[in-house]
Structure 1
Amino acid sequence: MPKNAFSETRRTETSLTDFTGGLSVIGAAQIVEDAVCDFFHSFGFDNPALRKNHNSIWVFTKNRIDFENTAEWGELVTAECRISKQTAATVWVDTRLVKEDGKTVAFYARTEICAIDLEKQAIKRLSSVGFPQFDVKEDYDKRSFTRFSADNSEKVRSFKVLPSSIDYSDHTNNVEYIRFAIDSLSCGEISDRGVAAVEAHYLKQTREGDILDIACSRVGNEVVFDMTGGNIKVAACRLTFKK
């Protein structure tokens, strides 16, 4: 059985920051994706291996990040991962980003993933791809996935999915949906209110050339985005502000 613990240290590079001078929401989502993928690579189950051996790919189905403290531009940070839940078809990976002092947490994250058969485009049982059974550990943080919907929403924009949004799985990368939501706001609002948390649910895969519509609703300190393609809901994203 592989060890249920993984960590990697990196700098908060320029590409991971934004106009605030610290780690951006997009940068945090990218760190989570990198850490989860590198964790799976460490025991031979990353996407290239899954595709080669089982004609399947990993797909993010849910992602939540709760921000605790700012990771500064150029700061040395450590992403720590472990699996907190396994079902017949899904895995929960918990990630926390620890700041350079070795004790302060920048964010907690939880990611739900599953394996998709490339030919049938159907979810596969983990046992069918030989995924190991881990000694599941209690999560780093008690916050988990929630339900949300953009009720009484208004359409804010439409756009085409471009090649730069497509990843190795031949679909729109999970981080891009969070980017689509962020790009529907303004720098002023993000800077003034501060993002406390982001949660994204990925419902359907989208491809290059697809036209997506984004509608949003606002209640209190939350902004919820519904993303649709051809009148089918493909993703939802909620941003929670600090104020």
Structure 2
Amino acid sequence: MPISDQFTSIHQQSYEIDFFACSPSGRLKWVDLCKFIQSASADHSVLGGISFWDLKTHNQAWVLSKFRIEKKAELPQWQDKITIHTWIERLDGVRSIRNFEVYLGDLLIAVASSLWVIINTERRRPELIALPHEHFIKYTDKKVTDTPFAKLHKGNYQPIDQVRVKLSDLDMVKHVTNIKYLEWCIDAAFTCQEAVDQIQVIDMHFLKETRINDRCDVLFLEENNMRHYQICVEDVVHFYCFMN
């Protein structure tokens, strides 16, 4: 698609929190906050001519490699309206760092940083983006998170759940949609919504694609008030996450 006349390098998108995006506490679920953030990213890519459909013509797609989100205030409630600001920090042709700020009115409630990779959807390997992106200003000094992406944490993880990948878990790239991993971890590790609401930071690493009918082991390790998770298929780590 051509570049929209509404395109700007810093994009703003507003959303109203609906009933189905809220947890038992009445606040926006972490998983749905991540969905809103990625929706704003997708809308920006559409306006800028580098969206899923644009890349599909070249057998390419964006896939999420790392995602860190930090809560700055209480998450919004049903019928609240949030505004998400997003921009590209870096894009070297294969990888792109995209940042986000989430506002409730004038109150900054969350920030996030994401690392995306272009893959060839037939070879399932990274490659240079086939589309021009020079019209996107790269804001290399406009960072948002307090610390960089976390490093993978090793230790004696224990199994806490097992899930089988179903058709509803897949996205348009035909692998498990990235936010599904976070949902599996929260469902496996928490039985109390109040504990989920106390999470301040979530840092996720997407290491390997997961496909339909894969059997995934959810593993857990708690050290120094940090919750670490792995999702493995046949003892190979496909996903890592920590929550503070």
TM-score where L is the length of structure 1: 0.91
> Is the contact made by 2:160 and 2:189 (CA closer than 8 Å) also made in structure 1?
no
Query: Is 2:128 aligned against 1:125?
Result: yes
Give ranges in structure 2 of 5+ residues lacking alignment. none
Residue 211 of structure 2 corresponds to which residue in structure 1?
207
* Structure 1: runs of 5+ lacking an equivalent: none
Deviation at 1:111, TM superposition (A): 1.0
Q: What do you get for the CA RMSD once the two structures are aligned?
A: 1.7
| Distance of 1:202 and 1:218 partners within structure 2 | 20
Q: Is the 8 A contact 2:157 2:220 kept in 1?
A: yes
Question: Which amino acid counterpart does residue 95 of structure 1 have in structure 2?
Answer: F
Same amino acid, percent of matched pairs = 17
Structure 1 residues 133 and 221: CA distance shift in structure 2, 3 A: farther
1:19 offset after TM fit, Å? Answer: 1.2
- The alpha-carbon deviation at position 133 of structure 1 amounts to 6.0
- Report Cα offsets for 1:91-132 as digits up to 9, x if no partner: 111011100x2x211110111111110111110113x34343
Deviation at 1:201, TM superposition (A): 0.4
Quick one: distance in 2 between partners of 1:27 and 1:10? 11
Indicate which of 17, 40, 44 corresponds to 2:45. 40
1:150 Cα deviation from its structure 2 partner: 4.8
Of residues 90, 97, 106 in structure 1, which corresponds to 2:95? 90
2:151 is aligned, of 147, 152, 156, to 147
Task: Give the SS at the match of 2:189.
Answer: coil
Q: Distance in 1 between matches of 2:195 and 2:124?
A: 42
Contact 2:50 2:131 (C-alpha < 8 Å) held by counterparts: no
Verify: 1:31 aligned to 2:36, yes or no: yes
Ranges of 4+ aligned residues in structure 1 off by more than 2 Å: 128-135, 140-144
1:30, 1:85 → 2: CA distance? 22
Aligned to 2:21: 16
Measure, in 1, the Cα distance between the counterparts of 2:145 and 2:68.
Answer: 12
* Aligned counterparts, 1:72-87, within 5 A: 72-87=77-92
2:76 corresponds in structure 1 to 71
Query: Equivalents in 2 of 1:73, 1:143: separation in Å?
Result: 30
Corresponding residue number in structure 2 for 1:234: 238
